[in-house]
Chains A and B, each alone.
Chain A
Amino acid sequence: MSEQDYMISMQDVNKWYGDFHVLKDVNLNIKKGEKVVICGPSGSGKSTTIRCLNHLEKFQEGKININGTDLIEDVKVVRHIRSQVGMVFQHFNLFPHLSVLENLLLAPTWVHKKPRHEAIKTAMMYLERVKIADQAHKYPNQLSGGQQQRVAIARCLCINPEIMLFDEPTSALDPEMVSEVLDVMVELADEGITMICVTHEMGFAKKVADRVIFMDAGQIIEENEPHEFFDNPQSDRLKLFLEQILSH
């Protein structure tokens, strides 16, 4: 397959923070509709990797192609790519001065220039889908963490993205709220959207991932389909990592 056939293609991507080499020759090709989970210890470059995909981080070497468009430093290209890539953050990053509904309307009305009434209709549909339509007129700080993260997911869906990136979406949640967010993500996965998720929720990885990737020290160490990945790890580093996170 050539790079044009992939939804996401990263070739030999290298990134430095000053002199610190954070991403080392990262190669990653993801097909349309594929679900990929990335895990690894903190500081391994997994968040940086997915943040490069919508240009929240710049990279110095290598090539990234998103749905047929090369990611270059050009305002129009970056905007075009961001209009196809939704990103869900660890700390939700909802806009606290706007109601839930207004949070969802921003991108459709200002970036995609949709008429307001149409945008409201779409927004309410997605709020319905994440089971939170009754909270549309509340402010983010009046909601629980799990509800806020579901709003954040709906906010991404409103731009009708081809790709969804999840950056540790459940790490900041109380244990009781993790499952309500994961349920929404599983539903999304079933609908066939292309998805990259940085997470340590191994149950989620087993359930929805087509592929699990293990990163350490800025490089991809091992990748495999989930059952092999967890039951039959090859590298010592991954064995140690799995032991650490599964031992309690």
Chain B
Amino acid sequence: MAVYTMKEAKPAPSTSKGLVFWLRENLFSTIPNTLLTLLGIYFIYTTIPPLLDWMIFDATWSGTKEEVVKEGARWIFIIEKFDQFMYGFYPEALHWRPNLVAIISIIFVFFIPRLSSIKIKFVSMLLYPVVCFILIRGGLGLEVVGTEKWGGLMLTILVAAVGIIASFPIGILLALGRQSDNMPIVKTLCVGFIEFIRGVPLITILFMASVVLPLFFSDGIEFDKLLRALIGITLFQAAYIAEVIRGGLQAIPKGQYEASESLGLSYWQGMILIILPQALKISIPNLVGSFISLFKDTTLVLIIGLFDILAMVTLTNSDTSWLGFEIEGYVFVTLIYWVFCFSMSQYSRVIERRYNTDH
């Protein structure tokens, strides 16, 4: 027989810590790893400095295009056309309205998750789109600006935002419908809708929305082109959201449904209070992935004659006094898209961390 005493925890030996240890362990642990490290360093050395030279150190930031002497990017083109990239043909005197919407949106995105009262959250979520719509389109004493004048980054964000916000509740309902085994007709309709939309490219849906949809309406009714695109994009996105959320729903253990039922909660109470919060939480990464795809896909609206930011760049490039500035324009658009998509992905991480309760 033997009895042992309890031992105190000791600090880890110093040979397993420090910079040199980390380098040896991670960058130069084996010969292949060392080769890959050197190759990586070489690749960075050959690409990054020339890129920085072109974009920053040799770039022209001011003056007219006749005065350009440096070899780098001529950002004067972007500066000259900046307003068109941002607002399209929106009247210059009214640019403050989309700007105000942008400020409201930033405040909205950052403060809504922090509100504790569900009532205030709900009211502001209902109010937000109405306020934004009136500010951008006009009405209630504000000068009306027709949708044919909307364009640029403003239009890109607007199309993406409407697509995301409107498709979300529809997607949830579709996902729940697809899960409802005790309502075969509802289930079949949901499955049919989702599978149809997912089997068709967005471009086709946009064409259908802009060309086919008006055929169903009598001649007198003029149906706004932007509205048609928004309906098409919303339905398209809803089908994808539905599948993402269905994945989340399937990950919720059966016991959660049973506990909610056994406490006497109704179907909708159980869904809203128990199942959906958990399902949506695990779906955040995939939802945001799908939102990012949508943000980039919005550029397809140019094929039905709407001028988003990419279309504006193409358009300004055909301005005879500014020929040959394509590269600057497309690099600028690339940066804009990257900034927005990267921000969305970072925002999703923040949200994920906030709602994390497993520890």
| A residues in contact (CB < 8 Å) with B | 54-56, 75, 79, 82-83, 85-87, 89, 91, 93-97, 106-107, 110-112, 139, 141-142, 155-156, 159
Contact = CB atoms under 8 A, between A and B. Distances in A.
Interface in B320-359: 355, 357-359
Interface string B266-284: 1001000110011001000
A82 B256 contact: no
Given A97-B281, A141-B357, A141-B359, A111 B258 contact: no
17 contacts: A54-B262, A56-B261, A75-B266, A79-B266, A89-B259, A93-B259, A95-B259, A95-B260, A95-B274, A96-B358, A97-B277, A97-B357, A107-B264, A107-B265, A111-B264, A111-B269, A139-B358
A93 B261 contact: no
Interface residues of B, number: 22
B278 A96 contact: yes
Q: Is the interface of B mostly helix, strand, loop or mixed?
A: helix
Contact of A106 (B258, B273, B278, B359): B273
B263 interface: yes
Given A93-B255, A97-B281, A87 B265 contact: no
A184 to B, nearest CB: 18
Contacts of A155: 263
Contact of B357 (A54, A55, A93, A139): A139
Interface string B27-49: 00000000000000000000000
Interface of B: 253, 255-256, 258-266, 269, 273-274, 277-278, 281, 355, 357-359
Q: Which of B255, B260, B264, B277 has the most CB of A within 10 A?
A: B264
A155 to B, nearest CB: 7
Contact of B358 (A89, A106, A110, A141): A141
A112 B263 CA distance: 10
A92 to B, nearest CB: 8
Given A89-B255, A95-B259, A96-B358, A159 B264 contact: yes
Contacts of B259: 87, 89, 93-95
A141 B258 CA distance: 19
Contact of B265 (A85, A110, A141, A142): A110
B355 A97 contact: yes
A106 B261 CA distance: 12
A223 B158 CA distance: 70
A111 B261 contact: no
A91 B277 CA distance: 20
Given A93-B258, A97-B355, A111 B278 contact: no
A97 B274 CA distance: 8
A95 B359 contact: no
A78 B33 CA distance: 65
Contacts of B355: 97
Given A97-B357, A106-B273, A139-B357, A82 B261 contact: yes
B359 A107 contact: no
B263 A106 contact: yes
A110 B264 CA distance: 9
A82 B259 CA distance: 11
Contacts of A75: 266
Given A91-B255, A96-B357, 17 more contacts: A56-B262, A75-B266, A86-B262, A87-B259, A89-B259, A91-B253, A93-B253, A94-B259, A95-B260, A96-B278, A97-B274, A97-B278, A97-B357, A110-B269, A110-B273, A141-B358, A142-B359
A89 B259 CA distance: 8
Contacts of B266: 75, 79
A156 B264 CA distance: 11
Contact of B263 (A96, A111, A141, A142): A111
A218 to B, nearest CB: 21
Q: Closest 10 A-B residue pairs measured CB to CB?
A: A93-B259, A93-B255, A107-B263, A82-B264, A87-B262, A139-B357, A111-B264, A141-B358, A83-B264, A97-B277
B81 to A, nearest CB: 48
